[in-house]
Chains A and B, each alone.
Chain A
Amino acid sequence: MTNQSIAMRDAFGQALVNLADKYDKMVVLDADVSSSTKTIEFGKIKPERFLNVGVAEANMVDIAGGLATCGLRPIVSTFAIFLALKCTDQIRNVVCYNNLPVIFVGGYAGLSDSFDGASHQSVTDLAIMRAMPNMTVLVPGDPTEVQTALEIALENNGPTYIRLSRNPSPILFEKQPLMEISKNRKLSNGSDITMAVCGIPTFMAIEATEKLMKLGVSVDLLQVSTLKPLDIDSLITSVSKTGKILTIEEHSVIGGLGGAIAEALGKHCPVKMDYIGIEDVFAESGPYPELMAKYGISVNAIVDRVKNSMEK
């Protein structure tokens, strides 16, 4: 981990610019939030391939569907909350049903639109996207994974959802091998407990792992950047050794990373499980780190949860 941070949205804007020439069929659509999501950066250099459709997200997704039927590679961008909820019908009936190669980039996901409050905080998007047949679901864990995720999606011949935070994230993987689809990244070897994490809380899990090691608890830490199709094998290998797992995500504890892993392990290798995420509640406005902490997502929360589970 370095001390340097980059906002995930800035990493996204830059990735679009970096890939604009390589992928000349790429078309970027945004719904009047391009200055926030940073797709505007692509719009500045490729105005002919940038469509701002106004505040009409459902229409945006279906336009993308039409573009995809003609061989173009649309990237649909807006806030994750609107993408997952205002466009569920379009994503299901037009894009996923027809297995069209449309990329959905849900920005400002989790609690990262912290000050705007619960109306803008997206904590059910992974559950929704994961439930769509044909959909691939990617959650970059640091800014360096954003461009790789986009490239994976551009090479995928079906729909892909990429979940992004608004906020800065420490650079974690600059010197590590590139993110790969359906391959969990092993961040720590341990034998007492498995932790699986996705998205922004990845850096918290790394810090918590270091703290726990000092307390004599050795953690097997896996970062999951593909929620679907899930890399089940590395999870089975890990829990076969540790016998228990804690999942950590900036999402509802219903249907996200924890849900995906519970479904898989419940079938293939049932072990004791616990989940860190937003409980079945609406959050509120506030500064991001404090908000995350209040709703149970922090280094201390992870350490405490593991300590409790070890005592039991």
Chain B
Amino acid sequence: MVKTEIKRIDSQKLLKETNLSKKAALLQYLAQQCRIDVFDILHEKGTGHWGGAASAAELITTLYFHIMKVRPNEPEWAERDRFVLSKGHASTMLYTVLSNRGYFPQSELSTFRTLNSRLQGHPCMNKTPGVEMSTGALGHGLSVTLGMALSAQLLKKKFWSFVLLGDGCLNEGQTWEAIMAAAKFKPERLVLMIDYNKVQLDGNSDEIMPLDPLPEKLKAFNWTVAPKVYDGNMVSDIIQSWEWMQKQTDWPLAVIYKTHKGKGVSFMEDNHKWHGAPIDEDNYAKGRPELLKTLKDLEVQS
């Protein structure tokens, strides 16, 4: 099919926007733009994970364009906020957001999963500028991020340490070891963000490994849990959660975001079959117009 070009937002200009509701609308647009780029790349390559990447578009976009202090031209800046994508299979979304943020050229995105590329199937910190930790095998992210938050404490630095977990990460025993340990050491500015789409590779998480009642479990493990479940596909809600985080003094923090796996393509949403299935020509042709329509609608709003 002939690919309709999309109207691209000036992401650097967006960073300077001071009106919060205007910025939220712009971020919502940018997240959708990234989602379309991911959809295109995954279709082009015939390999990679759509479901979990689409789920996390707004969360990763808002982190890098609103919440975190980073310097893309100085990725190793010691005071930078840290973000670990524990659900490393959503790598394409991280790469797309990082390139938009200025860590590397957007033209490089099409090298995803090809030989000699800096963009590995799952994130690799020594290959891709901006990637803080190599992930892929599930369950490592929270432990590593706890180590980063403890570093901030030991080195007397003020950076935030964010980690994004999916349902699969919460199946892993190690995550619960880290949940206990974080509540013991209570490092400041450690935030566990949960991309709670409730769909795993083989089926719904309620069927594969039930996690509810998740907020109650985290509270019982002595975490400070956000008072509501935010909409993780809605930038204004994510911004609200950040407002909440900044007011807290009792660490560590957990925020649960309700999201939709495969968000943006109706027949792929909340369907485990689109965890990692290649996007073939037919489904690409059917799905892309839906993503474009949403982008068009967001253009009016922004």
Residues of A near any B CB (own CB < 8 A): 27, 48-49, 51, 53-54, 56, 58-59, 61-72, 74, 89-90, 93-94, 97-99
A71 and B155 in contact, given A54-B181, A59-B174, A93-B140 (Cβ under 8 angstroms): yes
Chain B residue numbers with a CB within 8 Å of A59 are 143, 146, 174, 177-178, 181
| Contact, CB under 8 Å: B154 / A49 | yes
Q: Give 3 nearest A-B pairs by CB, closest first.
A: A66-B147, A62-B143, A70-B151
Judging by beta carbons under 8 Å apart, are A48 and B154 in contact?
A: yes
* Residues of B with C-beta under 8 A to A65: 133, 140, 143-144, 147
Cβ contact within 8 Å between A66 and B150: yes
* CB nearest neighbor in B for A61: B143
Judge if B6 is at the interface, Cβ distance under 8 Å.
no
> Nearest Cβ in chain A — how far from B269, in angstroms?
31
Please give the residue numbers on chain B whose beta carbons come within 8 Å of chain A beta carbons, in ascending order: 78, 124-126, 132-134, 136-137, 140, 143-152, 154-155, 173-174, 177-178, 180-181, 184-185
Inter-chain contact A72/B154, CB cutoff 8 Å? yes
Residues in A with CB closer than 8 Å to B134 are: 93-94, 97-98
Option from A48, A68, A74, A94 in Cβ contact (under 8 Å) with B140: A94
CA A51 – CA B182 in complex, angstroms?
A: 12
The CA of A150 and the CA of B65, in the complex, are separated in Å by 43
Residue numbers in B under 8 Å from A71 (CB-CB): 78, 151, 155
Nearest A residue to B173 via CB reads A58
B255 to chain A, nearest CB (A): 20
- Known A58-B174, A62-B178; 6 more pairs at CB < 8 Å: A54-B181, A58-B177, A59-B146, A89-B137, A89-B140, A90-B140
Chain A nearest CB, measured from B120 CB (Å): 10
**With contact pairs A70-B151, A71-B78 given, residues A53 and B181 touching in the complex (Cβ less than 8 Å):** yes
Q: How far is the CA of A74 from the CA of B148 in the complex (A)?
A: 12
Neighbour of B185 across the interface among A51, A61, A64, CB < 8 A:
A51
> A70-B155, A94-B133 given as contacts; is B150 within 8 A of A58 (CB)?
no
**Distance between B222 CB and nearest chain A CB, rounded to angstroms:** 14
Bound Cα distance A58, B137 (Å):
13
Residues of B within 8 A of A93 (CB): 134, 136-137, 140
Q: Assess whether B155 is in contact with A56, with CB atoms less than 8 Å apart.
A: no
**Which residue of the partner chain B has the closest CB to A97?**
B134
Q: Which of B132, B143, B154, B173 contacts A69 (CB 8 A)?
A: B132
Could you tell me the distance between the alpha carbons of A68 and B144 in the complex, rounded to whole angstroms?
10
Q: Can you identify 5 A-B contacts, CB atoms within 8 angstroms?
A: A65-B147, A66-B151, A71-B155, A90-B143, A98-B134
What residues of chain B lie closer than 8 Å to A68, measured between beta carbons? Answer: 147
In the assembled complex, how far is the CB of residue B143 from the closest CB belonging to chain A, in whole angstroms? 3
Which residues of chain A have C-beta atoms less than 8 A from B184's C-beta?
54
Known: A49-B154, A71-B155. A58 touches B143 (CB 8 A): yes
